[in-house]
């Protein structure tokens, strides 16, 4: 930062008009260029503002008519124009929670493998492969989920789960219903695979910035690799790991196509993870282009607004946590 301000001081002197004629021209060109770039930066801010304003305007009729019932009502009927968004909101939250429960331990394992166990020659290659999982388009996960994973899940996993967990009182409620392969749990599992690359990449990056002296001190005391990771690396990188998880959550909440393929698209509220459901994003993908009544469109935009507000808060939290890590890293070096 210090060297940056020196360069600024230097360039500022060229900004000021001096006795040379052409410097006035340069000064004007500079102002023009600066203004242009600033305009485009403001444009990015403007997009965010415009999104919020346009969604609020679009959602106003639905919120006005249903009030809080829009969030807690479970009836969603375009024919009678009764719109309560609880089922898609619930589906969004549950699928994301399932995804995180699966993705966090797996991402931690992958990050641990890449930073501590993997031979240095394989590190970049394997890291890239995990990152490529993030590049595969959402719709491909959806197709794979519907045509490959769901039948596999219905045939091999669900019957076993029902014959074992189904016998346990309390848990039985979660696994009841016909094993169709698609449903809330399948959507959560597919989502987990989609967010693993994001969480794992952040975890790997923050694990790498742990000062070696801390780790070496722990090893010198006789700690095992696992103990070093659990008691030194993880506490040191707490904020960064949390930021990565929030980033993954933000992705999972808004993921659309993969969920639309496998969630079942039904406005049913049930405790069973095997049952079909709906998420905000999948409701939008399925219904928006076909919504004809004004209230239906408005209700869907209202769902979109809720989704945007939730993901915005989650992502902002992630950003703040990760910035704190970056700042600490900056102080250290």
Partner 1 sequence: MIMNLYTKRIVVNRLGLALSMVAMAIGLGALVWILGTLLLNGIGALGPKVFTQMTPPPGSDGGLLNAIVGSLLMVGVGTLIATPTGVLAGIYLAEYGQRSWLAPVTRFVNDILLSAPSIILGLFVYAIYVANVKHFSGWAGAMTLALIAIPVIVRATDNMLSLVPNSLREAAAALGAPKWRVILYVTLRAARAGVVTGVLLAVARISGETAPLLFTALNNQFWSSDLNAPMANLPVVIFQFAMSPYEDWEHLAWVGALLITFSVLLLSILARALTRQKIAS
Cβ–Cβ < 8 Å for 256, 285: yes
Query: x/- site string to partner 1, residues 165 to 204, per CB under 8 A?
Result: ----------------------------x--xx--x----
Q: Residue 86, exposed/middle/buried by CB under 10 A (0-12, 13-18, 19+)?
A: middle
Binding to partner 1 by residue 47, rule CB under 8 A? yes
Binding to partner 1 by residue 253, rule CB under 8 A? yes
Q: Which of 44, 213, 220, 221 binds partner 1 (CB under 8 A)?
A: 44
Using CB under 8 A as the binding rule, the residues of this chain from 295 to 324 that contact partner 1 are 301, 304, 307-308, 311-312, 315-316, 319
Q: Which of 97, 101, 140, 160 binds partner 1 (CB under 8 A)?
A: 140
Q: Residue 133, exposed/middle/buried by CB under 10 A (0-12, 13-18, 19+)?
A: middle
Residue number with CB closer to partner 1 (162 or 286): 286
Binding to partner 1 by residue 27, rule CB under 8 A? yes
Cβ–Cβ < 8 Å for 284, 55: no
Any bridge partners for residue 82, and if so which? 77
Nearest distance, CB of residue 210 and partner 1, angstroms: 16
Using CB under 8 A as the binding rule, the residues of this chain from 202 to 241 that contact partner 1 are 224-227, 229-230
Q: Which of 83, 141, 207, 236 binds partner 1 (CB under 8 A)?
A: 141
Residue number with CB closer to partner 1 (86 or 308): 308
Q: Which of 17, 37, 164, 211 binds partner 1 (CB under 8 A)?
A: 37
Q: Which of 123, 205, 288, 326 binds partner 1 (CB under 8 A)?
A: 288
Residue number with CB closer to partner 1 (90 or 288): 288
Binding to partner 1 by residue 8, rule CB under 8 A? yes
CA pair distance 110, 101, nearest whole angstrom:
15
Phi/psi class of residue 182: alpha, beta or left (left: φ > 0; alpha: ψ in -120 to 50)? Answer: beta
Tokens found for residue 132: 């490529």
Nearest distance, CB of residue 91 and partner 1, angstroms: 15
Cβ–Cβ < 8 Å for 102, 188: yes
Q: What is the helix (H) or strand (E) element at residue 207, kind and residue range?
A: helix 184-208
Residues contacting partner 1: total by CB under 8 A: 100
Quote the Cα angle for 112-115-120, to 5°. 135
Residue written as token pair 């990056």:
205
């Amino acid at each position: 930062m210090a060297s940056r301000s020196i360069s600024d001081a230097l360039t500022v002197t060229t900004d000021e008009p001096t006795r040379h004629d052409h410097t006035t021209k340069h000064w004007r060109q500079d102002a023009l260029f600066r203004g242009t770039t600033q305009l485009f930066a403001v444009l990015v801010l403007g997009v965010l503002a415009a999104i919020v304003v346009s969604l609020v305007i679009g959602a106003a009729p639905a919120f006005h008519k249903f009030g809080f019932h829009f969030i807690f009502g479970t009836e969603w009927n375009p024919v009678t124009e009764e719109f309560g968004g609880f089922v898609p909101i619930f589906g969004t939250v549950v699928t994301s929670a399932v995804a995180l429960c699966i993705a966090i331990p797996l991402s931690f394992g992958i990050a641990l493998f890449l930073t501590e166990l993997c031979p240095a020659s394989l590190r970049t290659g394997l890291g890239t492969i995990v990152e490529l999982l993030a590049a595969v388009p959402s719709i491909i996960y959806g197709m794979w989920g519907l045509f490959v994973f769901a039948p596999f899940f219905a045939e091999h996993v669900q019957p076993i789960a029902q014959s074992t967990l189904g016998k346990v009182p309390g848990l039985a409620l979660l696994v009841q219903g016909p094993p169709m392969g698609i449903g809330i749990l399948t959507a959560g599992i597919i989502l987990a695979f989609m967010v693993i690359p994001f969480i794992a990449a952040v975890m790997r990056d923050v694990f790498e910035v742990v000062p070696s002296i801390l780790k070496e001190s722990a090893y010198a005391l006789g700690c095992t690799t696992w103990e070093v990771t659990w008691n030194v690396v993880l506490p040191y990188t707490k904020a960064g790991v949390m930021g990565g998880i929030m980033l993954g959550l933000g992705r999972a909440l808004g993921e659309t196509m993969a969920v639309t393929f496998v969630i079942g698209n039904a406005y049913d509220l049930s405790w069973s993870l095997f049952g079909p459901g709906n998420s905000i994003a999948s409701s939008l993908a399925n219904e928006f282009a076909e919504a004809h009544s004004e209230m239906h469109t408005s209700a869907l935009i209202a769902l979109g607004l809720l989704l945007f507000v939730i993901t915005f808060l989650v992502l902002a939290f992630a950003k703040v946590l990760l910035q704190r890590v970056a700042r600490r890293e900056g102080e250290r070096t």
